[in-house]
Structure formats: C-alpha cells, structure tokens
C-alpha cells in the first residue's frame, strides 16, 4: 500500500493496496520540462507489458517481491514542491521478527553508503526487524521509529532480554530532486509505511523512491520475481530495488544499448560521473542458511551490471538476502540443539540465475513505472515510460 502526502503534511489521502499507476491527468508533464517532452506521452508500464522478457525463468503471479508468501511492502510518499522523499517498509513475515528471526546475509558491492544494522547481520546471520528504506539523512529518524515499533510489539526488548538490531538502508535523493537538508521524514511516516504494508507492491517513484534518479531519469522502487523448481519442490525468489544510480548513456535494456539514443533525443546535459546508489532486497521461501544467502546476494551485482551500471566509486550498492522458509527462535526451547533444512549447493545455481534476472527486471520496472517529476529548485527528471515505444523497436 502507498500513502501519499501531497500539498501539506496534514493531507494524507490513501491509495488502495495494489500496483497503482497515475491517472491521465496526473501524467501531464511539468511546465518547466523542455518543450520536446510535450510531444512524447507518458505511459507507465512494466518491462513485460512491453514484451521485454528478461531471462529464461518464469516470474511469480504478481512478479514482485511479495510473491514470496508472507512478505509485505508499504510506502509513505512525501511529494510536494521541493519535498520529494519518503519511506518504504518491508516485512518478511507476519509474525514478530524479533522473537522469530530469519536467516539473512548482506553483501556490499560498493560501500559508499550509510545503512545501519548490517554489522550484526554479518556476525549473527539473522534479521530481527522489518527493513526500512529512506533517504540518506533520514536514516537516524527511521532507525529510531523502527526501534520504537519493535519495543511496542516486543515488551521484553531491553528489559528481560537484549536490545534490537534495526535495519535501515538508504539512497541519496538530495542530489537532484529532494530538499534533503529539510529533514522532512518524521517518525510518523515510518510508522505509517510499516502499518500500510501489504502484498500488493506499488512501484515507481513512491515511498523511499519518490525523489530518486536512475540513469538520469526518474527512478525509485521496482520489483520482480522468479520461480525455481528443485526436485519436486517449487520455490519463489523475489527482488525489490531502490534505484538511484547510473548514467543515461550507459543504460541497457535486455542487452540493448538504448541509453545513448535516449540521451541524444532529450538533449541531455553531459553525463556526470556515476555517484548514485542502489539497494537490492532479496527474499526466497527456499531453505538457505546465512552463508548460502550471502552467495545469492553477491549475484545482485550481475543483475545491476546488465542494466549498464558500473558501480561507481561514489555509489552505495548493497544487497540483502533473506530466507523465509524457517524461523530461528530468539529463545530456545527445551533443547538448544536445532535441526534445520537447507538446499544442497548443487541446487543454488538456479537461485543465482533467479537473482540476476529478477534484479535486472526490477530495475527496469522501477524506471518504467516512475512518473516524470519536478522537485527541489525546479529540477526535473524525465521518465523512461515517455519513450516506451522506442524501447521495443
């Protein structure tokens, strides 16, 4: 579900839970976008709707992260004038994530980032909170809100047991569209995103993706999934990306170098060095331990690279992989010996492929679902959906 704040902080209309694209009226381009854009209509879409099928594996029914049972995504969108930011919250199961933790692993592709909570995941191999995505300077606020949320639902934290490890990940939306110095994200926005989480994933420049730029265009949230069969068992792997990286001349779609032609068509300024970021969240219902999940997380880099990014020096590129197959209790039962299932390494290649394909497609879906946007100091971003007809030619 997405909650959008438009006009003032006090106005919070609700969108229905589902993949929601803007109405025809809201697709009108800002007045300060170059006049050539008026001749190109905006059609928000997905890669598959354009006939672009990434890879060989079959997607899940919704082709989103939430195809993995129990996963839910919520957004809180702040979009008015120079404020173009927000929060996205991801719950990986419907229970209490502190009492019943999930195997997890993170992989840092390029570490120019300010995410928190990854150190303990690296040490213990478990996730014990939802994951919150937001802008770089709102990480502290989001972490405080996430801790308060966990204290509310888990009274024993910090009282009769240890403290909690909040996981907050970020990209910098202040480099172009958002007034990041204004600290517009508040704790209530984080709570709203957590409370609105559901299985229908809204994509594009919503939630944490509101003010993000991807390949010099409007970026944001994208998602995709793949089905993987092992022996007689069917599993799902889903990906959600927060996209804020890349140079337009480098953009590739299903192997085709389309970025240079697009840059020339819209008379883009000289492309700056790549300094953006991308966060990749991966969930699967296949039984993997933390070591195996780290191997899966590393493959997100191949999916990112297939869209044209070279993971620039100033880019914060991080992948987090989670298995929902079995929980790990915070408090052991009568015995401290646990018996757990994991897939054999001989089966993991299929999940590597699923991660690469779903990551690539999620990035494209973020670009294709994003609306043209004008933000801080009148700066604008065009949308890839404006040029949808050019992508399939």
Catalytic residue annotation: 277, 315, 317
| C-alpha triplet 104, 279, 67: angle, nearest 5° | 65
Q: How far is CA 314 from the centre of its chain?
A: 19
Half-sphere exposure of 178 (CA within 13 A, CB side): 34
| 16 φψ region: left (φ > 0), alpha (ψ -120 to 50), beta (else) | beta
355 in helix, strand or coil? helix
Task: Evaluate the CA torsion angle 148, 199, 355, 317 in order and state its sign.
Answer: negative
Distance CA(2)–CA(317), nearest Å, equals 25
The DSSP string of 300-344 is HHHHHHHTT----TT-EEEEEEEE-SS-EESS--S-S--------
Question: Which has the closest alpha carbon to 384: 135, 20, 15, 45?
Answer: 45
């Amino acid at each position: 579900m997405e909650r959008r704040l438009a006009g003032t902080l006090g106005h919070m209309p609700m969108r229905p839970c589902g993949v929601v694209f803007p109405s025809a009226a809201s697709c009108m381009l800002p007045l300060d976008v170059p006049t050539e854009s008026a001749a190109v209509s905006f059609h928000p879409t997905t890669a598959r709707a354009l006939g672009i099928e990434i890879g060989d594996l079959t997607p899940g029914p919704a082709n989103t992260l939430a195809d993995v049972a129990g996963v839910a995504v919520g957004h809180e969108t702040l979009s008015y004038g120079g404020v173009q930011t927000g929060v996205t919250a991801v719950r990986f199961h419907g229970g209490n994530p502190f009492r019943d933790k999930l195997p997890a692993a993170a992989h840092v592709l390029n570490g120019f980032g300010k995410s928190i909570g990854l150190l303990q995941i690296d040490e213990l191999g478990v996730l014990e909170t939802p994951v919150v995505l937001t802008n770089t300077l709102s990480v502290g606020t989001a972490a405080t809100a996430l801790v308060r949320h966990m204290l509310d639902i888990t009274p024993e934290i910090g009282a009769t047991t240890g403290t909690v490890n909040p996981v907050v990940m970020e990209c910098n939306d202040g480099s172009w569209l958002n007034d990041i110095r204004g600290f517009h994200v508040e704790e209530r926005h984080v709570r709203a995103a957590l409370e609105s989480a559901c299985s229908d994933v809204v994509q594009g420049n919503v939630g944490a993706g509101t003010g993000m730029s991807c390949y010099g265009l409007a970026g944001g949230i994208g998602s995709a999934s793949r089905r993987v069969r092992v022996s007689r068992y069917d599993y799902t792997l889903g990906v959600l990306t927060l996209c804020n990286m890349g140079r337009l001349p480098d953009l590739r779609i299903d192997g085709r170098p389309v970025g240079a032609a697009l840059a020339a068509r819209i008379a883009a300024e000289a492309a700056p060095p790549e300094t953006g970021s991308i966060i990749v969240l991966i969930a699967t219902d296949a039984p993997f331990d933390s070591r195996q999940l780290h191997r899966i997380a590393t493959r997100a880099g191949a999916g990112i690279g297939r869209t044209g990014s070279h993971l620039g020096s100033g880019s914060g590129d991080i992948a987090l992989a989670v298995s929902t197959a079995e929980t790990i209790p915070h408090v052991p039962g009568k015995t401290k010996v646990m018996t757990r299932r994991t897939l054999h390494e001989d089966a993991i290649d299929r999940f590597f492929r699923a991660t690469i394909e779903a990551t690539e497609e999620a990035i494209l879906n973020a670009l294709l679902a994003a609306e043209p946007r004008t933000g801080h100091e009148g700066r604008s971003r065009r949308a890839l959906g404006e040029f949808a007809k050019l992508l399939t030619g």
